[in-house]
Amino acid sequence: MARKKISKQINCINVIFVEGDADEILFNRLIQYYRLMGFDTNGIVQNTHGFPDEKNMRKGLKKLELESKNPVVFNAVVCEYDTDVFVKKIQLEPNWKKVEENLKRNYSVSHFCRIEAKTSIEDWMLDDIESLLKALNLPSDTTTKGRDGQEKVKNLFKKKNIVYDRHKGKEKIKPILDKLDISKIRDARKKELKEFERLLGVKNLDDRN
């Protein structure tokens, strides 16, 4: 009797680890934008609710492996974080080379890259301050006050009596962040996104605009 051949499809996915709700919303929008621009881009945004260190990323990859019906290979694993995290909290900057080696060795990861949000993801939001003010129903000449991007965004939200919580406020910040012009943010941050876009197969995006 001929043996029935079972062919399992292999899932080839890109995973983007981010550290908070705001990052999750913006990166999902970014991937949508790439698709809208005609790129066949897949990307799963994983919120680690804190700095995406190696331990968090390993946990996330393991979870994705276990949850998938088919075998998984990770084309790209991307780690996005604020650069000020090493100043504001007790956070050691990992040995990224070692992290990359470990992930590639243990989790069928083909490529690894980092996205450094300088100095925080809120600075990215402020790249489209016009839309942010409009979404918050604030006058277009509203000045931003604060020591850094995060404080400035917090203070803008505060003007509308909304507590901006980057880590636990998805329902409140999503309607606002959805109104930002993601292409504008992408253009302002294309240097930081260069390697990420290359791994996701987003080529010559500027030519399409």
Partner 1 sequence: MVALNKITIRGFRNIEKFSIDLKDITSLLAPNNYGKSNAMTAIAFGFQFIKSLPKTRLGMMGDQSWISINKEIAGKPFVFEEEGAIDDNTDFIYGFSFEWKRNRRNDKEDLSEGQIVSEYLQVRSKNGEKPKFTKLINRTSANKAMYVPSPTGRCNKEILIESSELVLNKLYNYDDLFYHDSIEIIKNIEIKWIDTLANPESFFMPHMLVKDGKRQLIVESWISKYLYELKQNDKDNFELLVSAITNLVPTIEMIDPVVINNINLKIDDDAPFELPDQYDIIVKEKNNNQQTRFQLLSTGSMKILNLLAAVIKSQKDGVQLLLVEELENSIHPRLLQSLLSSISDFLGGTKLLFTSHSPNLAKYLSAPQLYIGLPSEKGFVDFRTLKPSKVTHVLKIASAGEMSLGEYLFDLMLDLEYDSNSVSELFAKY
What's the CA gap between 180 and 117, in Å, rounded?
A: 17
Interface stretch with partner 1, choices 6-14, 118-126, 167-175, 187-195 (CB under 8 A): 167-175
Of the two residues 99 and 117, which places its CB atom closer to partner 1 in the complex?
A: 99
Q: Which of residues 36-75 bind partner 1 (CB under 8 A)?
A: 49-51, 53, 55
Q: Is 165 in the site for partner 1 (CB under 8 A)?
A: yes
Q: Which is nearer to partner 1, 34 or 157 (CB)?
A: 157
Q: What is the DSSP letter of 119?
A: S
Q: What is the DSSP letter of 46?
A: E
Rounded CA gap, 7 and 152, in Å? 54
Cα distance between residue 18 and residue 50, in whole Å: 8
Interface pick for partner 1 out of 154, 189, 197, 205 (rule CB under 8 A): 154
By beta-carbon proximity to partner 1, the closer residue of 75 and 150 is 150
Q: Which is nearer to partner 1, 28 or 47 (CB)?
A: 47
Stretch that binds partner 1, among 9-17, 69-77, 162-170, 193-201 (CB under 8 A): 162-170
- Residue 142 found at the interface with partner 1 (CB under 8 A): no
Q: Is 5 helix (H, G, I), strand (E, B) or coil?
A: coil
Cα–Cα distance, 199 to 13 (Å, whole number):
11
Asked whether the bond before 119 is cis by omega within 30 degrees of 0, the reply is yes
In the chain, the amino acid numbered 56 is N
What is the residue whose two structure tokens read 């409009």? 134
Pick between residue 88 and residue 208 the one whose CB is nearest to partner 1: 88
Q: Which positions touch partner 1 (CB under 8 A)?
A: 49-51, 53, 55, 88-92, 94, 154, 158, 161-163, 165-169, 171-172
